[in-house]
Structure 1
Amino acid sequence: MEKTFAELGLDEHILRGVEALGFTTPTPVQEQAIPAVLAGRDVLASAQTGTGKTAAFALPILQLVAPYSQAARTRQAEAAAAGGGERDGGPDVLADAVEGAEGASLSAEVAEDGSIATPKRRRRRHHKKASAPAAESEPTSQPAGEPSAPTGDKPRRKRRRKKKPAGEKASTAERRAADPNAHPFGPFALIVTPTRELAAQIEAVVSVVCEQTGQKAVVVMGGTKFERQIRELEAGCDLLVATPGRLIDLMEHDHVSLADIRCFVLDEADRMLDMGFWPSVRRIVAALPKERQNLLFSATIPPSIKGTVDAMLKDPVVVEIARVGETADTVEEHLCPVTQGQKTLLLEGLLAHEVEGQVPDRVLVFCRTKHRVDDLERYLRKAGVAVDVMHADRPQKAREKALEKFRAGKVRVLVATDVMSRGIDVSGIDAVVNFDVPMDPEDYVHRIGRTGRAGATGQAYTFVAPDEISPLREIEYFTKKLVPVWDLEGFDYDSTRIVPNPGRSATKATRSLFSGSRSRGRGMSGGRYGRHY
């Protein structure tokens, strides 16, 4: 019997958000992950794309940080009521709220002004008290025009400051100095994700829930204005969703502190922990409190990142809905052997091909490079196809506009690079075309997972040229199944194409340490041409 969201332990505020999202029954990953997160456990979850992983971590962490959210708002309200004067009860309210949270604990102290005093903030507060003058009316023995120096220290050189042009906005530090009570609260939970599209996808879920809970989520990512994100952070937030690059920029300029983070989520953990993103992730993790809850979610958790995962998590609950490399049953996979020169013609013919009596209305095409994306867009546009593109060189506004047009059906084909394979959440995609075979087998799983979502059937076509046989075989070894060969009826294929052997194995052969060494270099009877190959 299927459980309901209420049976998973979610409170009434979160359940109202669930209802607003239109969710009725939890998916398997939600059913297993949500109780574990609410219990305060670290979680390692892998599930196929389109199975509701975002809600599986977003719903429970918003509930977990609710006591901190309430305490922060109480403190702000008391500060506003006091008009900047002494605030009675602020620290007590925060302490009571924090102590009342089940399974939650703060390693930081509560300061006299009601703020959460982390070690870094305590050092700053101590320095300010030590260097402040005893009284404003106390006479000074310093000569006129010279700066005063702290007792026992060498006189400090007066710091030169550039005069701001008229109309220029004050810096964050200056705005805080002008209003000492304008201390931002939070964030108490952090979600780090690799792409802007995924960040926007998470925002779409958490914003609906926050409307019901009264909490605030802030999204920071590249391609958008710094000042707006800084203003949102200065107003305080409960949940921060970020891409690594922009988050590090904000941290370096002291616009955000991660000292109060209680829940840390790494979305698409396999991509975030590989060599490309790992240096940035390591810097972010180093800025987090040691006592925190860690959640790692992804469609695949390959063995290559197991060591890093084990180091980050403490006695985690493992939620594995699908084995590594497993593709969705709702996706029909097709392998299309073709030469490189005929790929564009084959795609054009495929767009006119009828499946179950109709041509595909919404097609997502993946290319290996940005230049391939742009070249294919020009070709399709000349052929009269409504098309748009998404890749890293496109401005964020252009990427958002292209995705919105694709969702609305204003463009029939969206051509993208692999960086978009994890951030395109569009329902009703009829077909995914791998115009180029992905070099990473995990990207193949993510690519074809863009179709066949929410129980619908989708088509996946992979164009394989002679020079792409090797990455194709790695995909089949990874998924542990063969992609069936499929030919477009009536298409005149080049005779130089290579059709894979239908009797090939989906299991990678293992060789002994000295396998093949005895026959290497002995003519046609040995080496790669020998009978043992």
Structure 2
Amino acid sequence: MMPEIADALEAEGIVAPFPIQTLALPLALGGADIIGQARTGTGKTFAFGLPLLQRSAAEPGVAQRPRCLVVVPTRELAIQVAADLETAGKRLGTRILTVYGGRAYEPQIKGLRAGVDVVVGTPGRLLDLQQQRHLDLSHTDAVVLDEADKMLDLGFLPDVERILTLAPEHRQVMLFSATMPSEIVTLSRNYLRQPTHVRAGDDDDTDRLPASATRQHVYRTHALDKEEMLARLLQAEGRGLSMVFCQTKRACDKVAASLTRRGFAAAAVHGDLGQGQRERALRAFRNGKIDVLVATDVAARGLDVDDVTHVVNYECPDDEKTYVHRVGRTGRAGRTGTAVTFIDWQEVARWRLINAALSLDLADPPETYSTSDHFFTDLDIPAGTKGSLAKDQRDRAGLAAEDVEDIGETSPTAGRPKRRRSRSRGESKPRGRTETTATEPESQETASGSSGGGATRRRRRRRTRGGVDIASGN
């Protein structure tokens, strides 16, 4: 590996490789096609990113023709991957460009024209730029598909195949993911040349089981008691950055608003928010301005924050893969974490299917309320904890109210159109072409010392039609 890359990583305190990096780096640096499989949060980005940096340093890209391409399923993951590559390549001066939907085309086109070494982007925007002839993949030597199974879930597989056909026939392809569905295996057979399958983990179920360092708790709850339970859970001993996953956007907004009222620094992230709003919320979460992120599965991947201590499934996930990817937000990079899942009575059957698929031995969640003793002891919640933070508690935790306000539009009510002022009774909306009157500013004269003085107001009304002053003839 180039010394500039090693020095940049050492400056960030990264000196020991993860297992997936140990297995994949020698093969990737040698130009081999790779299928990399490892649990979420175990260093897959550097496993494919460092070889890309070294390749682009040897032969930089030119205008509109990047040397390397990384295809990711979500905007958040694109931003995260680009940030990691910039960290490792800052001493090389590697030009890295992120392209994704929800942002203006112009800055991305400008970056491509200026010349770029590595492009990180989502399938739709990559194809849009290629069709507009702003992006040329004919000189791309290496293509990486990151989180390929998520791209399958989102329906991006046809777009990914089109992107692969646009790259040169003799190029390196690296496919990294936590799980390998049959469709992804077929993709690898069609587009990878004699790939080496590297798999890092402690057992044969690496791609299916949550990290062993993550404590998992499942409770059968009542819908009307969930908000109180969540508020008390978030006051557990040692609780740091936390993520709460909801099934719907509406539930996200409702939970985030409830937590904010109770004194927590919380924000919602879901598909109805604009890209700028989502980025500000995620940035505030990474920086600690908010410490509770309430999200739909849009944030289940691509949010690489190592020190998330708690993940809460506010509702039962759809399937075992969703459960694994949500819980994978904690217990990352060798740290410990806590995962808590609330199950409604009608969700018990679905949970038992997830439990059986993952062999969790949690098939019968105990009936639990916000006052249950085992709820407090299981999660290290101090006795007597109430469902809201007092002001002194908020200050001790460093959660000043202005920190929440800093993200502004990321509040649960962000993005909603302002209610129009209702018209007064009798006020009608003008229709068609009407005659209008223009009123000049009022002038006032004040007569002091006169009982009948008061204010004299003079108004001059001019009737206009088609921009012509009828009174003056101008």
Matches within 5 A, 1:302-313: 302-303=181-182, 305-313=184-192
2:52 corresponds to: 61
Q: Which amino acid aligns with 1:13?
A: E
TM-score norm. by structure 1 comes to: 0.65
Describe the SS at the equivalent of 2:91. helix
The answer to whether the Cα contact below 8 Å between 1:218 and 1:237 also exists between their aligned partners in 2 is yes
Q: Which amino acid aligns with 1:327?
A: P
Q: Summarize the Cα distance change of 1:415–1:67 in structure 2 as closer, same or farther, 3 Å threshold.
A: same
Say which of 491, 494, 516 aligns to 2:371: 491
2:139 corresponds to: 260
Matches within 5 A, 1:193-342: 193-274=72-153, 276-303=155-182, 305-322=184-201, 323-342=206-225
Say if 2:247 is the partner of 1:368.
Answer: yes
Say which of 321, 324, 327 aligns to 1:445: 324
Matches within 5 A, 1:109-120: none
2:29 corresponds to: 38
Matches within 5 A, 1:170-181: none
Q: 2:372 and 2:143 mapped to 1: Cα distance?
A: 54
The answer to whether the Cα contact below 8 Å between 1:248 and 1:284 also exists between their aligned partners in 2 is yes
Shift of 1:370: 1.3
Q: Summarize the Cα distance change of 1:185–1:254 in structure 2 as closer, same or farther, 3 Å threshold.
A: closer
Shift of 1:285: 2.0
Gaps of 5+ in 1: 1-9, 73-182, 494-533
Describe the SS at the equivalent of 2:120. strand
Q: 1:402 and 1:230 mapped to 2: Cα distance?
A: 26
Q: 2:306 and 2:153 mapped to 1: Cα distance?
A: 29
Q: Which moved more, 1:278-287 or 1:444-453?
A: 278-287
Say if 2:67 is the partner of 1:188.
Answer: yes
Q: 2:160 and 2:348 mapped to 1: Cα distance?
A: 34
Say which of 4, 8, 11 aligns to 2:2: 11
Shift of 1:259: 0.8
Q: Which moved more, 1:26-35 or 1:334-343?
A: 334-343
Aligned residues: percent identity? Answer: 40
Say which of 383, 388, 391 aligns to 2:262: 383
Q: Which amino acid aligns with 2:257?
A: R
Count of paired positions: 368
Task: Deviation per CA, 1:227-256: give whole Å up to 9, x if none.
Answer: 111100001111110012221221121111
Task: Please provide the CA RMSD for this pair.
Answer: 2.1
Q: Summarize the Cα distance change of 1:282–1:379 in structure 2 as closer, same or farther, 3 Å threshold.
A: same
Shift of 1:487: 6.4
Q: 1:409 and 1:458 mapped to 2: Cα distance?
A: 17
Task: Deviation per CA, 1:475-498: give whole Å up to 9, x if none.
Answer: 2233233237466676269xxxxx
As a proportion of its length, which structure holds more strand? 2
The answer to whether the Cα contact below 8 Å between 2:41 and 2:333 also exists between their aligned partners in 1 is yes
Q: 1:190 and 1:34 mapped to 2: Cα distance?
A: 17
Q: Summarize the Cα distance change of 1:386–1:488 in structure 2 as closer, same or farther, 3 Å threshold.
A: farther
The answer to whether the Cα contact below 8 Å between 1:65 and 1:262 also exists between their aligned partners in 2 is no
Q: 1:186 and 1:237 mapped to 2: Cα distance?
A: 7
Say which of 229, 240, 248 aligns to 1:346: 229
Task: Deviation per CA, 1:16-61: give whole Å up to 9, x if none.
Answer: 3322342111110000000011121111111112211100100012
Describe the SS at the equivalent of 1:273. helix
Gaps of 5+ in 2: 374-474
TM-score norm. by structure 2 comes to: 0.73
Q: 1:443 and 1:274 mapped to 2: Cα distance?
A: 11
The answer to whether the Cα contact below 8 Å between 2:229 and 2:370 also exists between their aligned partners in 1 is no
Q: 1:486 and 1:289 mapped to 2: Cα distance?
A: 56
Q: Which amino acid aligns with 2:313?
A: N
Q: Summarize the Cα distance change of 1:202–1:450 in structure 2 as closer, same or farther, 3 Å threshold.
A: same
Q: Which moved more, 1:237-246 or 1:208-217?
A: 208-217
Matches within 5 A, 1:407-486: 407-483=286-362, 485=365
The answer to whether the Cα contact below 8 Å between 1:302 and 1:324 also exists between their aligned partners in 2 is no
Shift of 1:222: 1.9
Describe the SS at the equivalent of 1:213. coil
